[in-house]
Amino acid sequence: MNKQKPVDQLTIEEATHEVKELSLQVEEWGREYYEKDNPSVEDYVYDQAYQRLVTLEQIFPELQSPDSPTQQVGAATISDFAKVEHQNPMLSMGDVFSVAELMDFNERLQRNGVDHPEYNLELKIDGLAISLMYENGKFVQGSTRGDGRIGEDITKNLKKIKSIPQTLTQPITIEVRGECYMPKEAFAKLNEQRESQGLPVFANPRNAAAGSLRQLDPQVTANRELSTFMYYVPDYQTLGVTTQSEALTALVKLGFNVNLNNQVATTKEEIADYINGYTQKRNDLEYGIDGIVEKVNDLALQEELGSTVKVPRWEIAYKFPPEEAATVVREIEWTVGRTGTVTPTAVMDPVLLAGTTVARASLHNPDYLQQKDVRIGDTVYLHKAGDIIPEISTVELDKRPADSVEYEIPTRCPECDSKLVHLDEEVALRCINPMCPAQIKEGLAHFASRNAMNIDGLGPRILEQLFERKMITDVADLYHLTKAQLLTLDKFGDKSADNLLTAIDNSRHNSLERLLFGLGIRHVGAKAARLIAAQFKNIEALMNASSEEIASVEAIGPIIGDSVVTYFNNTQVHELIQELQNAHVNTEYLGTATEVKEGPLTGQKVVLTGKLIEMTRPQAQEWLETQGADVVGSVSKKTNLVIAGSDAGSKLAKAQSLGIEVWNEEQFRAAMKEDS
C-alpha cells in the first residue's frame, strides 16, 4: 500500500479500476475471516485495504454501491446452524488507527452538539461477537452476529462454556451481548495439538474461538476452553442504569463474566494514558486484545446519537498498530514429533519482538511454508500470533536475493531417512516408521513428563544418553535400569542415580490414567485418559472394549474411541503392556482408592488466576483437587474462593465485586503447609 498513488491524485478511470479490484479482494478476505475462520492475511493488511476502499468511496461517492464491502456487517450465515433474526441489529464498529484519528472522532461528536461527553474506555477483546437471550432469568438462546441482522443459533455450544450463566441472579428477561474468546494459553495448546495431529493451525485466538463455536458437536466446543466477556445490553433500562460503566457492574451482579479493566475518561490525556498503558500491558494479559474501544458513557446519549447502516455513532475502536520486526531466515529445520509429524521451523537472526528475543518461528506444515513462500535468505516480518506465538507474517520480496530458489520440501525423514507421507489428507508430513529414533525419544520424554508418569529427573539430556547407549529402546526398559548403568552417564553420581531410580520406582504405582496418557495414544490427552480409566478401571477391560463402548464415555466421542482401539490392536503394543506389567507397573485405576480428603476445601469451587511464583498452575490444581476442591475456569456467584497470583486481572476484579474470598500465593502456600 505504501507505493500506491494518493487517492486525491487518481483520475476517475484509475479510481474505478481500483475500487473494483479492492472490492473483490476485501470481499474474499472477509469471507476467509468471517465464514471460513481461516484468514490468509494479517488483520492490519485487511484493515489497510478496507480503509483505502473507504477513502476512495468518500472522494468518489459515485463509485460506492450498496453491495460494497464497506456497506456490509460481518458476513452472511451459510452454515448448518439454524438462523436467528436479531431483534436489534448487531452492528460493527468503526476503526481508527492513531490517537489523533480518535481525537478527530471525539471532536466531530462535539461539533455535532455533544458537549464534553464522558467516555467509557474498554479493552477490545480478540474474539467473536455473541448474543445471549434470557427469559425470566433462564438462558434460552445464543447466537453469532452473522450479517448483523441474521445470525447463527449456537445455543447448544454456548451452553458448554462455563463463564456463561445458565440462570441469572435475578429472574429478568434480557438480551446481553459480548465477546467469546479463547485465552492465550488455550490457543497455544490447541494449535500445538492440531499441529501434532496434522491439522491446520488457527491464525489467531479470534479464529480459534469462531471455529470452536461453529462445531456441530457441542462437546468439541466444551473441550476448547473458551470464555466470554459480556459488555452490552440493547435495552439498558432493564438494568436500571444510566451509563455504560454502571451497566458493566450490573452485568457482574447478574452473574456474567465482565472485563472490569474499563475506565471512565473525559480528557485527551486520560484517553491517551489508557491507550498507552494497555499498549504496554497487552502482552501480559491472559487473553488477546487488538485495541481499545471508546464508548459514550451516557446511555441515553448513545440512543440519541443512533447509528449508520453499519456502525454506531457513539463508539469507535482504536486498533493497535502491528507489532512487527524484520529479520533474515538463515535455515529451515525439520523436527520429528512423537506421533511422527515432521514440522518445519525457520531459524533466523535474533530480533527483539514484544519484549522477548526471537530467533525461531514454526512454519507449521509444508502447505503453510509454500503459501508463505519462505526461502532461505529471505527478509521476513515477524509478529506474535495471539500475542504469544512467534510467526512469520510476510516476506519482503523486494529484498529477496537474486539467486533465491524456491524451498524444496523434503521427502525423507531427517532422522531415520524413511519416506515421508501424508495420512488421511492431513496437511502434515509424517514419518510412519515406528522405530524412528526421534519418535521413540519424544515418546520417552512424554512418558516421563509431569502430567504422565511424572518421573522426576528424567529429562531429555538423560534420555538422549540412555537411548544413544542402547540402555533403553522403549518405555518398559526404564524399569530395568540399574545403578551401575546410570553411573556411566555424564555427571551422574551415587545420589543422582539413587534419586532417579527412586523416581522410576515410584512411577510404578501411578493410577491407570497417567499410564494411558504417557503411552501417547493419538487424541488422548490427560483429561480423556482420566475419564476412560475411571470408566474401564483396568487396562485389560480397555483393551477388550469396542470403539463404540469407548466413544460412549461422556466427553470422549468416536475419534478418540477409534484411536484407542487402533492403538491396542497393534501386537507390539500388547507386548509393551505385558512388559510393563512384568515390571510391576500398575495398570489399574486408583481413583477411588486415592480419592480426595475431607476438609475445608471439599466441595468448594476454586478459581486460579494470575502467575504463581513458587509452583506451576498444574501443581496448584492437583493439590486443590486432592483436597476435594472443584477447580473451575471462571468466577461467578457460585465461586467460593479465588487464588490470585501476580498480574491477576478481571477474575480478581470480579471476585472482589462479588465479595468472594481471595487468597494470595502466600496464603495458599500456608494452607498447603498446614495440610502437610
**83-319 CATH:** 3.30.470.30
What pLDDT shows up at residue 176? 97
Determine the Cα–Cα distance for residues 539 and 311; give it in Å rounded to an integer.
59
**Is residue 334 over pLDDT 80?**
yes
- Sole residue written with cell 533474515: 328
Helices first, then strands: H and E counts in the chain: 24, 22
- The residues spanned by each domain of the chain are 7-71, 83-319, 326-430, 437-582, 605-675
CATH of 7-71 given 3.30.43.10, 3.40.50.620, 3.30.70.250, 1.10.287.610: 1.10.287.610
Residue 298 φ/ψ region, left for φ over 0, alpha for ψ in the -120 to 50 degree band, beta for the rest: beta
Number of Cβ within a 10 Å radius of residue 405: 9
CB under 8 Å to 665, separation ≥6 — which residues?
612, 613, 614, 643, 644, 645, 646
Name the least confident of 6-20, 59-73, 324-338. 59-73
Domain spanning 605-675: which CATH class is it, in words?
alpha beta
Choice among 5, 36, 83, 124 that is catalytic: 124
pLDDT at 74: 52
pLDDT at 34: 59
Give residue 39's pLDDT: 64
pLDDT the model gives residue 414: 94
Query: Does the domain formed by 326-430 have CATH 2.40.50.140?
Result: yes
Residue 521 near residue 567, CB atoms below 8 Å: yes
Q: Please indicate whether residue 543 or residue 526 has the higher confidence score (pLDDT).
A: 543
More confident residue, 568 or 322: 568
Over residues 263-306, the pLDDT tens digits come to 999 999 999 999 999 998 888 888 989 899 999 999 999 999 99
Higher-confidence position of 207 and 34: 207
Burial label, 314 (beta-carbon count in 10 A; 0-12, 13-18, 19+): buried
Strands 174-181 and 227-232: antiparallel
The per-residue pLDDT for 72 is 64
Residue 581, pLDDT > 90, answer yes
Q: What is the pLDDT of residue 321?
A: 82
Is residue 654 annotated as part of the catalytic site, yes or no?
no
DSSP β-ladder status, 379-385 and 420-421: unpaired
pLDDT of 190 reads 87
Scanning the structure block, which residue is given the C-alpha cell 476412560? 532
Tens digit of pLDDT for each residue in 96-121?
A: 989 999 999 999 998 888 888 999 99
Domain at 437-582, CATH from 1.10.10.10, 3.50.50.60, 1.10.1040.10, 1.10.150.20: 1.10.150.20
pLDDT at 599: 67
What band does 141 get if pLDDT is binned at 50, 70 and 90? very high
CB-based contacts of 446, cutoff 8 Å, min separation 6: 338, 452, 518, 520
pLDDT of 594: 42
* Confidence band, pLDDT 50/70/90 cuts, at residue 624: confident
Could you tell me what percent of the chain has a pLDDT over 70?
93
User: One-letter amino acid identity for 177?
Assistant: R
What tens digit of pLDDT does each residue of 625-665 get? 777 787 877 788 778 899 988 878 778 888 888 878 889 88
Average pLDDT over residues 343-354: 90
The pLDDT mean for the chain works out to 87
**pLDDT for position 1:** 38
**DSSP label of 50:** H
The per-residue pLDDT for range 179-233, each reduced to its tens digit, is 999 998 888 888 888 877 777 788 788 888 888 888 777 878 888 889 999 999 9
Tell me the percentage of the chain whose pLDDT exceeds 90.
47
State whether residue 672 is helix, strand or coil: helix
Q: Residue 606 in contact with residue 642, Cβ under 8 Å?
A: yes
> Do 532 and 547 form a contact (C-beta atoms < 8 A)?
no
Whole-number pLDDT of residue 472: 94
Radius of gyration of the chain (CA): 28
pLDDT tens, position by position, 448-473 = 987 789 898 898 889 999 999 999 99
